[in-house]
Amino acid sequence: MTQWSILDTWIVIVGSLCAAACALPGTLLVLRKMSMMGDAISHTVLAGLAIAFLVTHRRDPATMFVGAVVIGLVTALLIQLVGSLGRTEIGASMGIVFTSLFAMGLVLMRQAIDHVEIDPDCVLYGAIEASYFDQITWMGMNLPRAAIINGGAGIFNLLLIVVLYKEFKVSAFDPALSTTLGINANVMHYLLMTMTAVTTVAAFETVGSILVIAMLIVPPATAYLLTDRLSFMMCWSVLLAILAAIFGHVSAVTVPTWFGFGGTSTAGMMAFCAGLIFVAVWLLAPRHGVLSKVFHRCILQLRIVREDVLGLLYRLEELPPSHELSTTPALLQGILGVGPVLSTLAVSSLARRGYIEHRSGQLHLTNQGRRAGRHLIRSHRLWESFLQKHLHLASDHVHEPAEQLEHITDAAMQNQLAERTNQPQTDPHGKKIP
Amino acid sequence: MLLAVLSILHGTQIAVASDQASGNPGRSIRPVNSIADSSIHWPSAEQFLRVLTLRDFNTRVVVLGVACLGLACGTIGTFLLLRKRSLTADALSHATLPGIAIAFIIMAKLGGDGKQLAGLLLGAFIFGGLGVGAILVIRHTTRLKDDAALGIVLSVFFGVGLSLLNLIQQMPLGHAAGLNRFIFGKAASMLPVDAWTILIAALVISLSCLVLFKELTLLCFDQGYARSQGWSVITLDMVLMVLVVGVTVIALQSVGLVLAVAMLIIPSAAARFWTEHLARMVIISAVIGMVGGYLGATISALVPRMPTGPVIVLVCSGAFIVSVACGPKRGVVARTVAQKRLGRRVAIQHLLRAVYECSEMAEKKVSSGNTVANVTAPLGELVKVRSWSINQLSRLIRSACRGKLLVSGNSGVALTDHGLREAERVVRNHRLWETYLIHYADIAPSHVDRDADEIEHILGHDMIVHLEQILSGKVKSDPMPPSPHHLSVAPTDVNGVTA
Amino acid sequence: MTISTGQPGASGVSSPIGQNRSHIATGDEHPVTAPLSIHDMTVAYHRKPVLWDVDLDVPSGRLIGIIGPNGAGKTTLIKATLDLVPKASGRVLVFGKPYRKQRHLVGYVPQRESVDWDFPVNALDVVAMGRYGTIGWCRPVTKRHRTAAYEALDIVGMADYAKRQISQLSGGQQQRVFLARALAQDAQLYFMDEPFASVDVATEKAIVEVLRRLKDAGKTVLVVHHDLQTVSEYFDYLIFLNMRVVTHGPVGEVFTPENLKKTYGGRLTLLNEAAELFARQAR
């Protein structure tokens, strides 16, 4: 592995600044379901640069910057225009506008290629590796220009969002509502577009035109799976974006060496790492993750089986002694109709908690278990009464729903049920309500 | 068309240059540029003719390959557009890049030169499919919406692809320059065998589209109904997406993956302006795609420093702009004209009604002998009826006089016979409608006038007959029901109140 | 086009049903010939039950109204029956066989909002879609099918508009085109989701006319309806729905204040309206 140097430190800093700057407007884009707007605008930066040059014949950074931002806004306008004139859906009008402008950018660039130092590759890869060498002096310090530009864009975004936080929030949530509240949703839309354009143009040199969209969308989308609150979502997405930038560079330097290569594009690996983080969160997120959903479903299922075991044992105890049935685990499994894994798990966890005990190969309720079983059966039969009485279900149809409802009934709900059903002594099948 | 290509490709098998050399003589005489020089060097007429008539073998290969591509794109793009999945094509074309890179690496490791087109396209196809799969997974297992799913797949796959390309450049064999052509497209580097591949794939895709025309129509139009009829919407969607991935993959080489989506969307979006009929739309879209490919490839062969892919896209964009402007029904011009015409018709009808009502009141005051026909309405009265300016009014009157609806005299205007008939029709519709609104839609009589104004002009004959039937018990039917509310000009006149 | 008469199984086309009838005698409490039987159907959106334990046999050759308050699950009943929304439990039999195998016998007229009206098809194309199921994969629409579609359009009185793009039709005309699509399918059992919602009087008349013709031809038609005033005029059989089937039966027997009260709950205004209506009808 190559030695870590000041160069690498600056690459990571520039990458993080760029990623963080992108994550802020990106959050709003994702929430407003306009992520692809970032894609569209980032594609047209090229045309903006070429047009700015052809119009002014100047190539100082300020002109280029303004030109590109203006074209970014024009893109947003054109997309709306094509959408309304052509009556096409927003996706199609984006596709039409940004590809046309991108094509125009490429042609103009070929025409002006001898004058402008834009490398077509740079459009895609960005020049983050070289950012350290392009330094300017600012407040007595030599800093990479890219760091200042991206940092500036980040601060611009942060200020705008802090000042207009609630406006952005309401217009992202419900544009129609925000207009009735006196916040012009259109104005907010174009403010967001301005932010996106500024950020994109700033990030353009650093991560390249297409990877901007990775930084704009992937971290906020990941954050959306982690939290339900806008402010947290923004913090998360900034954090995740920085993480992606750091890991991106580290892996760009290290991973290829494992296969005998010398290192690869940092920008590409940043996008890849953002993707990896997304996959990890998609799998593991506490509430919205795939695994946690599966896990919760399993836990719930286990709880239901456990309660069913208790209920079944209680019912068996209710029977007159002459009907004494053997209560081996295998038999329970058969009656409840669940798989061996679930029932074994349920029985062992019940035994561990002291609800049931094994006596000579048979399962018996402990006192504690009997109380729990009684609660459950009471819920079940109260529900049956309720369903029959208030929803007019036939008595032979009340068992199934009650079976499901009993598992979500706590003591308070039980009391309420008892009240609504006038404290019945027996359920619709004539069984005693304990 | 197929025959033509056959004969061309079976012609002399000249070695093929890897750049746009032979069709592009302008390049060799490129002068030294000054910084302000952005002029285009126009080709001579002879060069122009050579290229347009496809006399050069290389040009022929490139132009025909790209034209076939345009045809396939236009066909399948129509369905993609109507399915509202345009940007999916964008995401999946970007997702093909790692496939191309991996295919290259594998082929290079296996000892080839790594640049067989078929292998690269196979890799692209597989990863395009993976991209679509990833989009579906994100859409169905998370709470993220379509747009975010597209953005994630597009950018992450592309990032991986770029990293891999970077590695390929370091390979001893690797000249990844050859792979860069898939990003921006370089039709000029097309070999005859590539053109063949594109041609066959394009024909297969277009034919599949035709065979599945009815299924795809149903899917795009009303998927709920399709499902209730037992069609598997998922299967149909998969078929559509496989066709789209296929056409995207063959578009990579000529227009590049960034612009591949343009070839799919723009021709079909343009075609939408020319017809209201799906089959025709597919044909028009295919033609636009084909002509765009042909013209684009030709222009780029003729004019120096014109990259093929972007030029093709720009030609298609031009077609789109023309279509937006000039489409026969949906076009901006047609719509504006239609709106103007309707506006004028409405204004004239308003004028006729105003004249009629003025005359009607005058008739009531005079109360004998006079009929509406020969009473003149003074201009002053007319101005008061509506918010017309004098200028607008006189312009309207002039236009009505040209149409022989009114005659204007010194004291005002009067209806001609023809004008009277027309005015009676308009007023009658108006009053019927007003009455209908009052009795059936619970609108206060004072609000009726406005609503009726807007709708009387679009009432068809059958509707009027119907209204008459409904209202037969409520309004004195013929010949002219009285206005159900006050006529605003004559404050003293109280005879118009609801029957 | 004439609406082909007779029960399925009686006509030569639908031989599978004919065979089916013979070996269905499973002692089920549901009559085998019922055009539609729904067993224990429960549907939930996000764990909130919308339909609960619907158990229903629909008699053959009737014009059936499904009525109930907003949110009673009327549309859901149709959609779940047609597998357009997932069922939590339950089975649907169409002429004694699972719905999946009998799709060609079922016609469906969805609510109008569900369609992209700007789509480049004309009325005739839309109606021809009703035949797609019969035509099958990859086979083209032939002249025969287009003729059938045209005849279906003629029945609903829209033949003059065959070549119009669908967005250029009025709301009522669009509804009639959808009705024609269902007719072109030549099904035995029809589901219609609020066909009378915001249509003009002429269309309403035309639709009712078509419904009667369908009934006379022995088809079974289920219509989601919300206008209590016209219920007894249009239908001869009613299903009262409010999360579950409150009751069902011939209009004369079940259209009573008690049933309305049970279905519509404590909504007084509605209730009074209905009571008045009932009193008027009793006279």
pLDDT in tens, A53-72: 888 877 777 888 888 899 99
What is the mean pLDDT of the segment spanning A415-425?
77
User: Is residue C101 a part of any domain in this protein?
Assistant: yes
Q: In the prediction, which pLDDT does A124 show? A: 65
Q: In this structure, is residue C173 part of a structural domain?
A: yes
How many whole angstroms separate alpha carbon A311 and alpha carbon A318? Answer: 11
Residue of B nearest to A110 (CA): B305
Q: Can you give the pLDDT at residue B348?
A: 83
Question: Is the pLDDT assigned to residue C207 strictly greater than 50?
Answer: yes
- Report yes or no on C2 lying in a domain: no
For chain B, list residues with pLDDT below 70.
Answer: 1-43, 51-55, 112-115, 173-178, 363-375, 385-387, 433, 435-464, 466-467, 470-499
* Structure confidence at residue C17 as a pLDDT band (50, 70, 90): very low
Structure tokens at B140: 């169905």
**Residue B153: its pLDDT value, please?**
95
| Tokens standing for residue A279 | 């996959």
Do C246 and A391 count as a contact with CB atoms less than 8 A apart? no
Looking up tokens 């420093």 gives B305
In the prediction, which pLDDT does A114 show? Answer: 56
Subunits with 3+ C-beta pairs closer than 8 A to A? B, C
Asked if C132's CB is within 8 angstroms of B215's CB, the reply is: yes
Q: Which residue has the tokens 């039917």?
A: B477
Distant-in-sequence, close-in-space partners of B79: CB < 8 Å, separation ≥ 6:
B209, B216, B219, B220, B240
Q: What is residue B37's predicted lDDT score, i.e. its pLDDT?
A: 46
The torsion defined by the Cα of B129, B132, B137 and B140, in degrees rounded to 10, comes to -140
Q: Which domain holds residue C168?
A: 15-282
Q: Do A115 and B33 touch (CB under 8 A)?
A: yes
CB C200 within 8 A of CB C230: no
CATH of the domain at C20: 3.40.50.300
**A46, A233, A38: which is closest to B154 by C-alpha?**
A38
Instruction: Look at residue C6 and tell me if it is in a domain.
Output: no
Q: How far is CA A271 from CA A274, B150, B170, in A?
A: 5, 14, 21
Query: What is the Cα–Cα distance from B84 to B82, expressed in whole angstroms?
Result: 5
The complex scores an ipTM of 0.81
- How many angstroms separate the CA of residue B278 from the nearest CA in chain C? 5
| Domain ranges (residues) in chain A | 6-285, 293-420
pLDDT digits (tens, 9 = 90+) for A19-55: 999 999 999 999 988 899 988 998 888 888 888 888 8
Which residue in the set C82, C141, C202 is minimally distant from B466, CB to CB?
C202
Q: Which residue has the higher pLDDT, A204 or B472?
A: A204
Neighbours of chain C (3+ CB pairs under 8 A): A, B
Q: Hey, of B232, B272, B276, B465, which one would you mutate to test binding to chain C, going by the most C CBs within 10 A of its CB?
A: B276
- If you search the block for the tokens 């038609």, which residue do you land on? C221
Fold of the domain spanning A6-285: ABC transporter involved in vitamin B12 uptake, BtuC (1.10.3470)
Q: Closest chain C residue to A392 measured between Cα atoms?
A: C246
Q: What is the pLDDT of residue B438?
A: 61
Residue matched to tokens 């069984």 = A431
Contact: A401, C118; criterion CB under 8 Å? no
How far from chain centre, in Å, is Cα A288?
A: 7
Q: How confident is the model at residue A2 (pLDDT cuts 50, 70, 90)?
A: low
| Predicted confidence (pLDDT) at residue C196 exceeds the cutoff of 90 | no
Digit-coded pLDDT (tens) for A128-153 = 777 777 777 777 777 888 888 889 99
CATH architecture of A293-420: Orthogonal Bundle (1.10)
Spell out which chain C residues touch chain B, with contact meaning CB-CB distance below 8 angstroms. Answer: 82-84, 100, 103-104, 106, 108, 110, 114-116, 119-122, 125-126, 129, 132-133, 135, 137-138, 140-141, 165, 181, 185, 200-202
Number of domains comprising chain C: 1
Identify the architecture of domain B335-471 in CATH.
Orthogonal Bundle (1.10)
Among A87, A392, A401, whose Cβ lies nearest the Cβ of C118?
A87
Determine the average pLDDT of the residues in C70-98: 84
Which residue in the block uniquely carries the two structure tokens 């030569």? C12
**pLDDT in the model for residue B373:** 53
Q: Which of A202, A299, A264 is nearest to B168 (CA)?
A: A264
* Residues of chain A contacting B139 with CB distance shorter than 8 Å: none
Assign domain B53-261 to its CATH architecture: Orthogonal Bundle (1.10)
Domain-located, residue C273: yes
Map out the domains of chain B as residue ranges.
Answer: 53-261, 335-471
Subunit contact A401:C262, Cβ cutoff 8 A: no
| Token representation of residue A226 | 């982690």
Contacts of C110 in chain B (CB under 8 A): 222, 224-225, 228
Q: Would the CB atoms of C52 and A87 count as touching at under 8 Å?
A: no
**What element of type H or E holds A146?**
helix A145-163
Buried-state track B463-476, b at ≥16 Cβ within 10 A, e below 16: bbebbbebbeeebe
Q: Does any CB of chain C come closer than 8 Å to the CB of residue A152?
A: no
Contacts of A103 (CB under 8 A, 6+ apart): B259, B262, B309, B310, B311, B313, B314, B317
Would you state the pLDDT for residue B30? 38
Q: What is the mean pLDDT of chain C?
A: 78
C-alpha closest to that of A95 among C243, B226, B266, B413: B266
- Give mean pLDDT, residues C6-28: 39
pLDDT category at C269 given cuts 50, 70, 90 is: very low
- Which of C82, C115, C122 lies nearest to residue B222, judging by beta carbons? C115
**Token digits for B246?**
């296929």
pLDDT, one tens digit per residue, over C143-168 is 988 999 999 999 888 888 888 888 88
- Cβ atoms of A96 and A82 within 8 Å: the answer is yes
Q: Which residues does chain A have within 8 Å of residue C168's beta carbon, measured at their own beta carbons?
A: none
Distance from CA of C174 to the nearest CA of A (A): 20
Residues of B with CB under 8 A from a CB of C: 82, 211-215, 217-218, 220-222, 224-225, 227-231, 272, 275-278, 281, 462-463, 466, 470
Confidence category of residue A121, pLDDT binned at 50, 70, 90: low
DSSP one-letter code for B77: H
Contact A57 B259 (CB under 8 A): no
